[in-house]
Structure 1
Amino acid sequence: MSRFIHRMVGIAMGGTFAVSVSAQSPHEHGTANLNIAVDSNDILLEFISPAVNIIGFEHLPNNAEQQHVLDDAVALLHNPAQLFALPSAAGCSVTLAELVSDLLPEHEEAHEHEDITNGQQGEEHLAHAEFHASYQFSCTDPAQLNAVELTIFIRFPGLEKINVQFIGTSGQLGAELTPAQPRLTF
């Protein structure tokens, strides 16, 4: 999905925004990145965060409590309507929610194979585990789509700020949102 968003944004801006999206800040605890693209009736969101911001650790769960924390976070991250509030007048509904992380079982298996073939130790690649989530909402009245409220701060208190890059019919916009200022108007 990430490539899809970059492609959509690149087409909309002639490639200039796609470069700035990939040049965002590196892995920083407390900080996440959110890329938003509005195209026709759709709003696309790409959320990238160090795992520690979401679950409090960046390794595979060591006990039942950590597994429960991870499971709860994954359930929330698969439900973008719980994390991002769009104007109700826009009539938006979730059409896609994808989540990728080294902490998820499907990626553990892939990395086990990589570790064997690359001669790496099992959890070295998890030193800076992240969550990458991609979402798409389809809206019945996109003219009413003029803001997004990041309720994700309420769900994950480890998030201190989110660097946002936005592109839509109104142009490009960059912002740093915080729990005290969680709303982006466009």
Structure 2
Amino acid sequence: MNPAQLTGCLLALTVAVTASTSAASDDNPGAHEHGNAELQLAVEGNRIDLLFTSPAYNLLGFEHRARTGEQKTAVQETTRWLGATPLVDTTDPSCKVMEADVQHQSGADGHDHHEHRSGHSGSEHPESTHTDFEVAQTLSCAGLGDGTTLSTPLTGRFPEIEHLSVEWVWSGGQGSERLEQGVDRFSLDVN
């Protein structure tokens, strides 16, 4: 299998796992837990394909439809930041966002909203409605390899993320780590 096929397979697996997890969370409201978020990585050469999912509450402090100007601004700024900022980087920042897709459920009109169309989040349904952000990014990063330490700005930028589950797969193997609030580094060690 060539590197492009490997990356495609890894990304397809990540998307399939996320889709089934997302479907399961729709059927099981307990799967949507405030304070918890997930970051999945497929690393191939100098390329990282990633998928980040989080309850909107962790990023915005609310999940209902943005009502005030302040809430609408928070949604716009968060959406813009998630699309432009590499959600992982090397210790000597070298990662660049090549592609990004930021989605969050609006609930108001039954459609997901993408980065360029967002302006609200949440729902007109009762406050108990659960909404999530999903971010897919393709990064180009110099210097990736065995033992590479990566950092994420997510736990520092969003204090409501108490636990960030990070899973990665690459030619050197796979791994996972659970980052607590304030911890922002993990290593691609071969175990």
Query: TM bucket by the smaller chain?
Result: 0.7 to 0.9
Q: Which residue of 1 aligns with 2:91?
A: 87
Q: Is 1:68 aligned to residue 73 of structure 2? A: yes
CA contact (8 A) 2:37 2:52 kept: yes
Check 1:60–1:23 CA distance in 2 against 1; reply closer, same or farther (3 A cut): closer
Contact 2:155 2:182 in 1 (8 A): no
Structure (1/2) with the larger helix percentage: 1
The aligned residue for residue 172 of structure 1 is 174
- Match in the other structure for 2:54: 49
Shift of 1:94: 1.3
Distance 1:140 1:150 in 2: 16
| Alignment-derived partner of residue 31 in structure 1 | 36
Contact 1:86 1:145 in 2 (8 A): no
My pick for the range that moved more, 51-60 or 142-151, is 142-151
Q: Does 1:78 align with 2:83?
A: yes
User: Are 2:7 and 2:42, in contact at CA under 8 Å, matched by a contact in 1?
Assistant: no
Provide Cα deviations, 1:43-90, integer angstroms capped at 9, x if missing partner.
111000000000011111111121122122112111223x4332337x
Are the equivalent residues in 2 in contact too, given 1:6–1:18 (CA < 8 A)?
Answer: no
Q: C-alpha distance in 1, partners of 2:100/2:71?
A: 23
Deviations 1:2-32 (A, max 9, x none): xxx9953177xxx6x7776655982110000
Tell me: CA distance 1:6–1:99, structure 2 relative to 1, closer, same or farther (3 Å): farther
CA RMSD of aligned residues (A): 3.3
- Give the TM-score normalised by structure 2: 0.72
Deviates more, 1:24-33 or 1:46-55: 24-33
Deviation at 1:181, TM superposition (A): 2.6
- Equivalent residue letter for 1:72: E
- Residue aligning to 1:8: 9
Gap runs ≥5 in structure 2: 1-5, 26-30, 113-122
For the residue of structure 2 that corresponds to 1:75, the secondary structure is helix
Residue 38 of structure 1 and its aligned partner are, at CA, apart by 0.2
Distance 1:71 1:99 in 2: 11
Greater RCO (CA < 8 Å, at least 6 residues apart)? 1
What amino acid maps onto 1:8 in structure 2?
C
In structure 1, what is the Cα distance between the partners aligned to 2:161 and 2:75? 16
* Match runs of 1:139-158 below 5 Å: 139-143=141-145, 146-158=148-160
How many equivalent pairs are there?
A: 165
What's the % identity of the aligned pairs?
26
Normalised to the residue count of structure 1, the TM-score between the two structures is 0.73
Asked whether the 8 Å contact 1:34–1:48 carries over to 2, the reply is yes
